[in-house]
């Protein structure tokens, strides 16, 4: 039992490290793909989503929980902290709970985060327009970015667990 508990903690730490690496990669891939999109596609996305989902959530937290309007710098920092906490937290859970820590498991994990988080929950929580309103290129960019995130999570988690 103690060995299983130790393995879960090791997996969570490894997953968190993978999550940090994955978020860095997600950002770079997303920026690169965004730059390749036609200008009309980018403008349509900007009209549909003037703020990123975590920015909307940060604004809500500021107004609801903190009872104050946050400055743009405070919103940016809180939004970033929420995104990093979400990405690292999910990756830590993956590392602790996934029965096998292999690269391809991370790919499925990343695709699941995209589908459930990016496509479904942002709409359900009112953080973004419904997926059907966005051009297909936005979905492809988001899926590719999240699969890269998952690949990093799976790869880093596997490497750390094997090394331990």
Rounded to the nearest integer, the mean pLDDT of the chain is 92
Is residue 132 predicted with pLDDT exceeding 90?
Answer: yes
Q: What is the mean pLDDT of residues 105-133?
A: 95
**Cβ proximity of 54 and 82 under 8 Å:** yes
Number of domains in the chain: 1
Give the separation between CA 110 and CA 113, rounded to whole angstroms.
5
What pLDDT, in 10s, does the model give residues 50-77? Answer: 999 999 999 999 998 878 888 999 999 9
% of the chain exceeding 70 in pLDDT: 96
Question: What is the predicted pLDDT for the residue at 131?
Answer: 95
Q: What is the mean pLDDT of residues 130-148?
A: 97
Q: At what angle do helices 2-36 and 72-97 cross, to 10 degrees?
A: 130
Q: What is the mean pLDDT of residues 113-129?
A: 95
Confidence class for position 9, pLDDT limits 50, 70, 90: very high
What pLDDT, in 10s, does the model give residues 15-57? Answer: 999 999 999 999 999 999 999 999 999 999 999 999 999 999 9
Is residue 100 predicted with pLDDT exceeding 80?
Answer: no
Instruction: Give the helix ranges, DSSP H, for the chain.
Output: 2-36, 39-48, 53-60, 72-97, 103-113, 122-124, 136-163
Is residue 1 predicted with pLDDT exceeding 70?
Answer: no
- The whole domain housing 59 covers 2-163
Q: At what angle do helices 136-163 and 39-48 cross, to 10 degrees?
A: 80
Q: What is the mean pLDDT of residues 87-108?
A: 87
């Amino acid at each position: 039992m103690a060995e299983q508990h130790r393995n879960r903690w090791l997996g969570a730490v490894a997953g968190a490290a993978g999550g940090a690496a994955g978020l860095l990669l997600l950002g770079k891939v997303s920026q690169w793909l965004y730059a390749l999109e036609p200008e009309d596609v980018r403008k349509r996305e900007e009209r549909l989503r003037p703020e990123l989902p975590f920015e909307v959530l940060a604004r809500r937290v500021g107004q609801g929980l903190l009872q104050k309007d946050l400055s743009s710098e405070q919103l940016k920092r809180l939004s970033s902290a929420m995104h990093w906490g979400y990405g690292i937290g999910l990756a830590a859970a993956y590392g602790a709970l996934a029965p096998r820590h292999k690269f391809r498991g991370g790919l499925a994990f990343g695709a699941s985060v995209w589908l459930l988080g990016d496509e479904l929950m942002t709409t359900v929580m009112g953080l973004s327009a419904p997926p059907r309103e966005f051009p297909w290129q936005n979905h492809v960019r988001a899926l590719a970015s999240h699969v890269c995130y998952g690949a990093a999570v799976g790869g880093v988690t596997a490497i750390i667990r094997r090394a331990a």
